[in-house]
């Protein structure tokens, strides 16, 4: 488990990470989200002992990373896939890591096979594509068979097959009871991968919640109701609008979109009124929609609203427009 307690990092007057307190537990893929400049990479660097906190602490299974005698065996990390000597081969890079942490060299060949780099293991890393660098970085993270894994943008540069491979890999690692802490800007992929989400903005914690709860609890989620009888639709609308915290729209003659009530609540009401329904389903907001709403006030490099005319030219309406 990764434990953060009032974790803070200042650079002069700038607060990059502001009192983060959370637990990243085993058996789950915990997604780590936030706008550019939110403090995600700084947080991960402090977890791994690369940056010293200005306040608070970051612990891995109750200990600081710097206190571990063989850290690669306990924590696997991928922060910068290109952080290696370009003249060194993929195998040579992993052999150096293995020897410095007392890991049998047979494990090097195992992880190279696991990430699909066995056939290019002796090629200089400088000739690798970004996707191959990422695969080598994942191999390094898995080298010590650690219980805790920290990945910063692991799918960057991967093709669709590689993205799916990373998704299946991290979910299988979590299924084994390992702690997986994963950052990404790909919202659709994070929605498919993560069990729990930690979202920060300007260094502060905005959300720490299961993925399902975040999406279900969003004001952007709705319930779609369809009935063959227009009179039934009007009756249902009238009863729903008796409560001021409910909004109802009718995009079609036989359809309602209800916000502020669950599908169960709408269904129970229709049953009490004796109304016939042909469809009743929850329309969940996407992670991208919820994320954009949640972080709207935390974006450091905002660009304003962009309007595209018939020529395709982007016209920005910012603060000065």
Q: Among 76-85, 239-248, 266-275, which is the least confidently predicted range? A: 239-248
As a whole number of angstroms, the distance between CA 203 and CA 182 comes to 17
As a whole number of angstroms, the distance between CA 204 and CA 201 comes to 5
As a whole number of angstroms, the distance between CA 316 and CA 303 comes to 7
What's the DSSP call for residue 284? P
As a whole number of angstroms, the distance between CA 257 and CA 187 comes to 25
Average pLDDT over residues 249-263: 87
pLDDT at 308 over 70: no
Question: Tens digits of per-residue pLDDT, 47-72?
Answer: 999 999 999 999 999 999 999 988 99
Distances (CA, A) of 212 to 92, 198, 215: 43, 13, 5
What proportion of the chain, given as a percentage, has pLDDT over 90?
63
Average pLDDT value over all residues in the chain: 88
Helix axes 160-175, 130-142, angle to 10 degrees: 10
Give the residue carrying structure tokens 């991968």: 193
What is the model's pLDDT at position 85?
Answer: 87
What element of type H or E holds 98? helix 90-100
- What are the E-state strand segments in the chain? 2-11, 14-24, 29-33, 55-60, 75-78, 148-152, 179-183, 196-201, 204-210, 222-226, 247-252, 255-259, 279-283, 305-308, 314-317
What is the model's pLDDT at position 303?
Answer: 54
CATH topology of domain 2-216: Rossmann fold (3.40.50)
What does the domain layout of the chain look like in residue ranges?
Answer: 2-216, 222-283
Closest CA to 136 of 97, 175, 173: 97
Question: Tens digits of per-residue pLDDT, 109-149?
Answer: 999 999 999 999 999 988 899 889 999 999 999 999 999 99
pLDDT band at 247 (very low <50, low <70, confident <90, very high): confident
Q: Which two tokens stand for residue 183?
A: 């950052």
| Domain at 222-283: CATH code | 3.30.70.100
Q: Which two tokens stand for residue 128?
A: 């690798």
Strand partners, 205: 200
Helix axes 130-142, 106-114, angle to 10 degrees: 130
Q: pTM (2 decimals)? A: 0.79
Give the residue carrying structure tokens 């979202």: 199
């Amino acid at each position: 488990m990764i434990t953060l307690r009032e974790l803070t990092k200042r650079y002069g007057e700038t607060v990059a990470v502001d009192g983060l307190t959370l637990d990243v537990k085993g058996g789950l893929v915990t997604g780590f989200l936030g706008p550019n400049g939110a403090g995600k990479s700084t947080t991960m660097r402090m977890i791994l002992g690369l940056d010293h906190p200005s306040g608070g602490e970051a612990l891995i299974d109750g200990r600081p990373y710097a206190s571990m005698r063989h850290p690669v065996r306990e924590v696997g990390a991928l922060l910068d896939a290109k952080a290696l000597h370009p003249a060194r081969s993929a195998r040579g890079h992993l052999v150096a890591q293995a020897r410095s942490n007392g890991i049998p060299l047979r494990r090097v060949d195992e992880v190279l096979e696991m990430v699909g780099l066995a056939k290019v293991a002796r090629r200089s890393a400088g000739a690798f594509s970004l996707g191959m660098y990422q695969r080598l970085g994942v191999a390094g993270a898995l080298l010590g068979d650690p219980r805790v894994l920290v990945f910063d943008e692991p799918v960057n540069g991967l093709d669709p097959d590689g993205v799916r491979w990373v998704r299946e890999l991290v979910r299988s690692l979590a299924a084994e009871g390992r702690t997986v802490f994963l950052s990404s800007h790909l919202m659709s992929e994070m929605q498919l991968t993560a069990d729990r989400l930690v979202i920060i903005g300007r260094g502060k914690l905005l959300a720490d919640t299961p993925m399902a709860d975040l999406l279900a609890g969003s004001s952007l989620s709705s319930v779609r109701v369809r009935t063959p009888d227009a009179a039934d639709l009007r009756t249902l609308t009238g009863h729903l609008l008796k409560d001021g915290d409910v909004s109802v729209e009718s995009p079609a003659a036989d359809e309602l979109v209800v916000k502020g009530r669950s599908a169960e609540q709408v269904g129970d009401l229709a049953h009490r009124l004796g109304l016939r329904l042909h469809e009743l389903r929850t329309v969940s907001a996407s992670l991208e929609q919820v994320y954009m709403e949640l972080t709207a006030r935390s974006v450091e490099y905002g660009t304003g609203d962009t309007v595209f005319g018939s020529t395709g030219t982007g016209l920005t309406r910012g603060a000065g427009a």
